[in-house]
């Protein structure tokens, strides 16, 4: 086995003494011989390090690896059609794709292709006559690199300051406009404080963080999956390499970890290290998978579920400690884990897929419930929903071999009409939405590398397609974009284009899927299954006057019943569904608009034991303003469901003043006109004098 050269200790990598090499006879090689040999041999190639030596006389010719030349990659392997290449990292897959020959049908147009020239020659290009060079004019000619972050520039704390002291620090005293705050605009790494025992490795974020109140303290935390490694491109610069030392081999240090950052006080609550490898191994300790947050063990606090490229699936508690039974071993995990009650037993399950085509479902204790091999790289997260209308959840995902798989959440068996084969790579998550209102089934909407948008019926497996002629890695989104009461599909492509397609499906708040994750952790299609939404009368656009706003909403839960046996023999079983904690807030309204003292109330929270229709009242702003009314519901496992709509407050208050002015004048005029006054011909006074 390969020796591990370092371990993680308190955020650092601790070097281990290298293994003593031996000659063919098993004797240790003298130190001087090893030094001379190391000085004469070139540095190891991280690509060749993964391939066995082909000149070994003991390896038969047929078993020697066939490595494609760098300028013409093997498209079959890039497509993930072999088990060996399915385990490669996503960055290798994208690098091969960038150099592969692409069909002219899906080739970038010249304008989009020219836009990528800004990344060539380190961003140095000739500006047209009369056009200002922003770098020279605004930054004095200094290059600006935004990918190297200096913590001290943004968090000006003393090293011995306690976290609670940092939280109380008044950030308004920091001179954000002064030269001292922006004195290092190159964002280059500070000098590394390496010593004989520790090596400080640079931190990189390769996936999207997650935000939620994971420990129930009333303050949201940002959970970040961090990959620790030395950027080869950055340290190719000799000046940067001097900071590490000439004898430092940066390929020996790759690690991963999870960091919890409290947003309100802006300090790190805890960090937990996960994996440690070198850059020469087949499975490197990178984290491409965003963490999923959910309360999987019903302890009232959220757990962190994350997969790594080493192949471990971790579950950490709200303090960063691994739960009993975790991690479990799979292949390289690139997609975000799916967390939901997928088999209907009332408890949360975790679904994960790896780069070798292995898929598996685990319960919250880490026990495998079922596994299935699909034979293709799964690089994106899976989604779930009642696809065929039978009332149970199915799991949907695409593969690099061009297949759309729909498997039962209870058994892992493929539905009869699936997999649906596109023939080309599918590298985007699959949208589950209802496009036909007269059927019980839903549609699977996804883009493929043939430039087609597929809309697959979940009951029949038949598909309608739209030829957009472009490649996409992004999930298709669904919402009513123009307010005409019809659902629209939003497609974004690698050419930089965004397409909107109108459907015949009627709008419903639970049909909306307007981001890759619904809320902060929901990956299940909500329509007809589970969710919360405001009633049509409540969400109708209008101007609200008064001191309170009544919000009427429906809680929907059509999940299969799940009961927990009573502890008492004579007692009744307890339902595992609910309670439902609902929070109604005004988003975009601050203290000044509320005008309600030092602690303004901008929302209300209540708990309900069963689904149904309910009403909550929240205070209105005291000034003219607009706001988004947001309704959030957290179920028994802290899965978040949301709905929102916009209203205006006191915008048309002047209409009241108009009637206050006109009404007295109108009433006086009516009284005068109704009086029976004598005319001047009858000897009476003229009308002008009579009214005097």
- 109 pLDDT tier (thresholds 50, 70, 90): low
Per-residue pLDDT at 686: 53
Kindly tell me if the per-residue pLDDT of 644 is higher than 80. yes
Per-residue pLDDT at 547: 84
- Domain for residue 672, yes or no? no
- Strand, coil or helix: what is 40? helix
* More confident position, 85 or 305: 305
Kindly tell me if the per-residue pLDDT of 152 is higher than 60. no
- Beta-carbon contacts of 491 under 8 Å, excluding residues fewer than 6 positions away, are 447, 453, 468, 472, 474, 476, 498, 499, 500, 501
**What integer is the mean pLDDT of 634-661?**
83
* More confident position, 118 or 224: 224
Domain range enclosing 620: 530-562+577-648
Q: How many domains does the chain contain in total?
A: 3
Per-residue pLDDT at 575: 87
Regarding whether 205 and 285 lie in a shared domain, the answer is: yes
Contact 261, 310 (CB under 8 A): no
Regarding whether 522 and 599 lie in a shared domain, the answer is: no
Distances (CA, A) of 598 to 165, 230, 592: 23, 48, 10
Q: Count CA atoms within 13 Å of residue 224 on its CB side.
A: 18
Report how far residue 79's alpha carbon sits from residue 435's, in angstroms, rounded to the nearest whole number.
Answer: 31
**What integer is the mean pLDDT of 264-278?**
93
From 317, 333, 349, the end of a domain falls on 333
CATH number for the domain that contains residue 582: 2.60.40
Per-residue pLDDT at 357: 93
pTM of the predicted structure, to 2 decimals: 0.69
**What integer is the mean pLDDT of 467-483?**
94
Q: What percent of the chain has pLDDT over 70?
A: 66
Predicted confidence (pLDDT) per residue in 158-205, tens digit: 545 544 444 444 444 444 444 454 444 555 666 676 666 778 899 999
- Lowest mean pLDDT segment, chosen from 47-51, 67-71, 443-447: 47-51
Predicted confidence (pLDDT) per residue in 486-496, tens digit: 999 999 999 99
**What integer is the mean pLDDT of 647-666?**
74
Per-residue pLDDT at 597: 54
- Domain for residue 657, yes or no? no
**Strands 254-262 vs 221-229: parallel, antiparallel or unpaired:** antiparallel
* Among 332, 373, 402, CA closest to 50: 332
- Domain for residue 38, yes or no? no
From 528, 554, 586, the end of a domain falls on 528
Regarding whether 474 and 359 lie in a shared domain, the answer is: yes
- Strand, coil or helix: what is 166? helix
Report how far residue 239's alpha carbon sits from residue 262's, in angstroms, rounded to the nearest whole number.
Answer: 35
- 55 pLDDT tier (thresholds 50, 70, 90): very low
Regarding whether 365 and 324 lie in a shared domain, the answer is: no
SS3 content of the chain, % helix, strand, coil (to 5): 15, 30, 55
Regarding whether 534 and 523 lie in a shared domain, the answer is: no
**What integer is the mean pLDDT of 260-268?**
92
* More confident position, 50 or 394: 394
| Cα–Cα–Cα angle for 66, 71, 73, rounded to 5 degrees | 45
- Beta-carbon contacts of 684 under 8 Å, excluding residues fewer than 6 positions away, are 677, 678, 690
Report how far residue 394's alpha carbon sits from residue 406's, in angstroms, rounded to the nearest whole number.
Answer: 6
Regarding whether 388 and 520 lie in a shared domain, the answer is: yes
- Domain for residue 13, yes or no? no
Contact 468, 453 (CB under 8 A): yes
Contact 44, 251 (CB under 8 A): yes
Which backbone phi and psi does 576 adopt, to 5 degrees? -90, 5
* More confident position, 109 or 7: 109
Per-residue pLDDT at 566: 72
Regarding whether 309 and 273 lie in a shared domain, the answer is: yes
Regarding whether 414 and 502 lie in a shared domain, the answer is: yes
Per-residue pLDDT at 387: 95
- Domain for residue 628, yes or no? yes
> How many residues does the structure list for the chain?
692
From 630, 648, 666, the end of a domain falls on 648
* More confident position, 480 or 120: 480
Tell me the average pLDDT of the chain: 77
Regarding whether 548 and 490 lie in a shared domain, the answer is: no
CA-based end-to-end distance of the chain: 112
Kindly tell me if the per-residue pLDDT of 145 is higher than 80. no
CATH number for the domain that contains residue 218: 2.40.128
- Domain for residue 80, yes or no? no
**What integer is the mean pLDDT of 662-673?**
78
Regarding whether 491 and 460 lie in a shared domain, the answer is: yes
Per-residue pLDDT at 591: 67
- Domain for residue 35, yes or no? no
Contact 542, 651 (CB under 8 A): no
Regarding whether 377 and 509 lie in a shared domain, the answer is: yes
Regarding whether 352 and 284 lie in a shared domain, the answer is: no
- Domain for residue 458, yes or no? yes
- Lowest mean pLDDT segment, chosen from 114-118, 427-431, 666-670: 114-118
Q: Count CA atoms within 13 Å of residue 688 on its CB side.
A: 0
- 367 pLDDT tier (thresholds 50, 70, 90): very high
- Lowest mean pLDDT segment, chosen from 57-66, 394-403, 621-630: 57-66
Predicted confidence (pLDDT) per residue in 593-630, tens digit: 666 655 567 789 999 999 999 999 998 887 888 899 99
- Lowest mean pLDDT segment, chosen from 20-29, 272-281, 657-666: 20-29
In the 8-state DSSP scheme, what is residue 24?
Answer: T
Q: Is 478 left (phi over 0), alpha (psi -120 to 50) or beta?
A: beta
**Strands 349-353 vs 338-340: parallel, antiparallel or unpaired:** antiparallel
- 271 pLDDT tier (thresholds 50, 70, 90): very high
- Lowest mean pLDDT segment, chosen from 23-32, 136-145, 644-653: 136-145
């Amino acid at each position: 086995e390969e020796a591990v050269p370092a371990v993680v200790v308190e955020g650092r990598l601790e070097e281990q003494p290298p293994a003593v090499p031996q000659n063919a006879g098993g004797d240790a090689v003298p130190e001087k011989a090893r030094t001379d040999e190391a000085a004469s041999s070139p540095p190891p190639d991280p690509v060749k390090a993964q391939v066995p030596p082909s000149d070994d006389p003991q390896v038969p010719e047929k078993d020697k690896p066939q490595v494609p030349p760098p300028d013409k990659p093997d498209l079959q392997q890039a497509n993930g059609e072999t088990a060996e290449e399915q385990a490669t990292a996503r960055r290798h897959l994208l690098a091969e794709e960038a150099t592969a020959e692409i069909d002219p049908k899906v080739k970038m147009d010249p304008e989009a292709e020219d836009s990528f020239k800004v990344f060539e020659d380190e961003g140095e290009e000739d500006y047209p006559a009369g056009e200002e060079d922003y770098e020279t004019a605004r930054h004095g000619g200094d290059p600006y690199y935004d990918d190297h972050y200096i913590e001290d520039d943004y968090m000006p704390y003393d090293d011995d300051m306690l976290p609670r002291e940092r939280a109380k620090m008044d950030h308004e005293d920091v001179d954000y406009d002064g030269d001292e705050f922006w004195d290092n605009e190159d964002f280059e790494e500070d000098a590394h404080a390496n010593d004989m025992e520790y090596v400080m490795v640079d931190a990189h974020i390769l996936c999207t963080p997650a935000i939620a109140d994971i420990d129930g303290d009333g303050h949201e935390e940002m959970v970040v999956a961090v990959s620790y490694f030395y950027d080869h491109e950055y340290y190719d610069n000799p000046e940067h390499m001097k900071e590490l030392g000439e004898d430092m081999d940066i390929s020996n240090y790759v690690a991963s970890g999870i960091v919890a950052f409290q947003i309100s006080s802006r300090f790190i609550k805890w960090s937990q290290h996960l994996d440690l490898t070198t850059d020469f191994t087949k499975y490197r300790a990178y984290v491409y998978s965003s963490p999923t947050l959910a309360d999987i063990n019903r302890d009232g606090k959220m757990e962190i579920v994350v997969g790594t490229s080493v192949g471990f699936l971790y579950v950490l508690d709200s303090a960063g400690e691994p739960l009993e039974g975790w991690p479990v071993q799979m292949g390289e995990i690139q997609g975000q884990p799916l967390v939901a009650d997928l088999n209907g037993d009332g408890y949360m399950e975790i679904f994960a897929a790896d780069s070798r085509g292995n898929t598996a479902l685990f319960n919250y204790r880490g026990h495998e419930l079922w596994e299935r091999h699909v034979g293709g790289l799964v690089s994106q997260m899976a989604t779930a929903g009642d696809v065929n209308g039978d009332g149970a959840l199915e799991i949907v995902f695409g593969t690099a071999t061009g297949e759309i798989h729909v498997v039962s959440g209870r058994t892992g068996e493929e539905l009869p009409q699936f997999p649906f084969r596109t023939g080309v790579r599918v590298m985007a998550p699959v949208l589950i939405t209802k496009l036909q209102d007269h059927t019980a089934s839903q549609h699977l909407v996804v883009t493929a590398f043939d430039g087609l948008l597929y809309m697959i019926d979940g009951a029949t497996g038949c598909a309608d397609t739209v030829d957009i002629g472009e490649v996409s890695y992004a999930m298709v989104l669904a919402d009513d974009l123009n307010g005409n009461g019809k659902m629209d599909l939003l497609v974004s492509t690698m050419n930089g284009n965004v397409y909107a397609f109108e459907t015949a499906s009627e709008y419903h708040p639970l049909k909306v899927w307007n981001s890759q994750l619904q809320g902060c952790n929901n990956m299940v299609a909500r329509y007809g299954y589970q969710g919360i939404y405001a009633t049509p009368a409540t969400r109708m656009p209008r101007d609200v006057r008064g001191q309170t706003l009544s919000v009427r909403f429906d809680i929907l839960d059509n999940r299969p019943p799940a009961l927990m046996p009573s502890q008492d023999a004579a007692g009744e079983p307890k339902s595992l569904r609910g309670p439902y904690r609902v929070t109604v807030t005004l988003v975009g309204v601050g203290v000044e608009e509320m005008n309600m003292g030092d602690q303004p109330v901008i929302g209300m929270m209540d708990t309900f034991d069963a689904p149904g229709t309910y009403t909550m009242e929240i205070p209105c702003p005291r000034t003219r303003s607009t706001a988004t009314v947001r309704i959030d519901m957290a179920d028994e496992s802290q899965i978040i469901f949301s709905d929102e709509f916009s209203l205006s407050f006191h915008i048309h208050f002047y209409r009241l003043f108009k009637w206050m002015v006109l009404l007295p004048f109108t009433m006086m005029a009516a009284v005068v006109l109704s009086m029976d006054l004598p005319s001047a011909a009858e000897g009476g006074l003229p009308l002008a004098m009579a009214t005097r």
